Amino acid sequence: MEKRVSFKGVLLPLLLVLPQLVVTAVFFFYPAGQAIWQSLFIPDPFGLSMQWVGLGNFDYLLSNRYYRASFATTAVFSILVTSVSMGVALFLAVLADRLIRGSGVYRTLLIWPYAVAPAVAGVLWMFMFNTRVGVVTWYLGLLGYDWNHVLNEGEAMGLVVAASAWGRISYNFLFFLAGLQAIPRSVIEAAAIDGARFWTRFRTMVFPLLSPTTFFLLVVNIVYAFFETFGVIHTITSGGPQQATTILVYKVYADGFVGQDLGSSSAQSVILLVLVSLLTVVQFRFIERRVHY
């Protein structure tokens, strides 16, 4: 049973939710509305007048080679970030799960990396891999490898993926660990007695029983890769080289604020808005039917 607090009048509850409503209105509804509105116009180069184009901006975008390329880049980027961060996190969680049943110390220590701010993490990676003074670049040079993510598109992608995924691992790790610890130990023991060795147990017991956690993380990580990696990309590659790391969010910024093409930029934000709404719907639908097995 849910416990609800009930109020007599309307005024107090209204007052209580007002701050949240104001914040949402000012920082979400207003800009979102403006974006939708602006996406239907093309402003003149000096921003003095706007010309109605209907869905022209969308039409143009969807047939635009660079925009489509950015879609592909985003897909590659999010798949890589999601699979790397979740894969590494799951691996670490499985290892930790064997150790820390009953001991809270490890868990506390393992949470710490999550406290590293994403911006700090981005700068950290940028310095490590700096083409001139980076530590890792220097060691790679000793090994005979010439690292240059400023010129090499693959290396640039690799670096932003690594930096983005790294910041995400401890978050995923925590959820995976909690998920693993929620699996009754006796079920795993029963499987062991039934003849399943570690890998079989993982495949037939642990992984299916972990699927609610995995699904949740999948959605959350895709959303993260789509929207929250802006800082990492901005600090490390600025979308380059040659747009190789320009994911959709970055392109909104690049076209709108750098290229000053507000109509196109707004249309792009609207497309992103639709995408994130879809992901949210998927997630809520799923949470409704949480018990999965």
Partner 1 sequence: MATVTLENICKSFGKTDVIHGVDIDIADGEFIVIVGPSGCGKSTLLRMIAGLETVTSGEVRIGGRRVNDVEPMDRDIAMVFQNYALYPHMNVFDNMAYGLKIAGKPRAEIAERVAGAARLLQLEPYLDRKPRELSGGQRQRVAMGRAIVRKPAVFLFDEPLSNLDAKLRVQMRLEIRQLQRDLGVTAVYVTHDQVEAMTLADRMVVMHAGRADQIGPPLEVYENPATTFVAGFIGSPPMNFVPVGLVGLGAPEGTVLGIRPEHVELVSGSDRLHGTVVYAEALGAETLVHVRLADGTLATVRQDGTAPTPPEGSDVGLIWAEAHQKLFGADGTRL
Fill in the DSSP letter of residue 8. Answer: S
Residue of 121, 177, 205, 244 interacting with partner 1 (CB under 8 A): 205
| Position 187 contacts partner 1 (CB under 8 A) | yes
The amino acid at 238: S
Residue 188 or 252 with smaller CB distance to partner 1: 188
CA–CA dist 184, 179 (Å, integer)? 10
| Position 203 contacts partner 1 (CB under 8 A) | no
| Position 180 contacts partner 1 (CB under 8 A) | no
Residue of 47, 104, 144, 195 interacting with partner 1 (CB under 8 A): 195
CA–CA dist 149, 138 (Å, integer)? 13
Q: Which of residues 263-292 bind partner 1 (CB under 8 A)?
A: 292
Q: How far is the CB of 191 from partner 1 (least distance, A)?
A: 7
Residue 104 or 144 with smaller CB distance to partner 1: 104
CA–CA dist 105, 112 (Å, integer)? 12
Residue of 31, 101, 116, 189 interacting with partner 1 (CB under 8 A): 189
Residue 68 or 292 with smaller CB distance to partner 1: 292
Longest dimension (CA), the chain: 76
Give the number of residues in contact with partner 1, rule: CB under 8 A. 19
Near partner 1 by CB under 8 A, which window of 26-34, 161-169, 181-189, 244-252? 181-189
Q: Tell me the three state secondary structure of residue 261.
A: coil
Q: Give residues with Cβ within 8 angstroms of 269, minimum separation 6.
A: 32, 35, 39, 252
Q: Which of residues 219-248 bind partner 1 (CB under 8 A)?
A: none
Structure tokens at 43: 């402003």
| Position 209 contacts partner 1 (CB under 8 A) | yes
CA–CA dist 16, 14 (Å, integer)? 5
| Position 100 contacts partner 1 (CB under 8 A) | no
Residue of 19, 104, 144, 184 interacting with partner 1 (CB under 8 A): 184
**Runs of H (alpha helix) within 101-117:** 104-111
Radius of gyration of the chain (CA): 23
In contact, 55 and 45? CB cutoff 8 Å: no
In contact, 191 and 198? CB cutoff 8 Å: no
| Position 64 contacts partner 1 (CB under 8 A) | no
Residue 34 or 211 with smaller CB distance to partner 1: 211
Residue 202 or 227 with smaller CB distance to partner 1: 202
Q: How far is the CB of 197 from partner 1 (least distance, A)?
A: 7
Residue of 20, 49, 103, 186 interacting with partner 1 (CB under 8 A): 186
Residue of 13, 33, 141, 208 interacting with partner 1 (CB under 8 A): 208
- CB count within 10 Å of CB 117 equals 10
| Position 163 contacts partner 1 (CB under 8 A) | no
Q: Give residues with Cβ within 8 angstroms of 129, minimum separation 6.
A: 136, 137, 147, 149, 159, 236
Alpha-carbon distance values, 186 to 12, 98, 107, 180, 194 (Å): 50, 14, 22, 13, 12
List contacts with partner 1 (CB under 8 A).
184, 186-187, 189-197, 200, 204-205, 208-209, 292-293
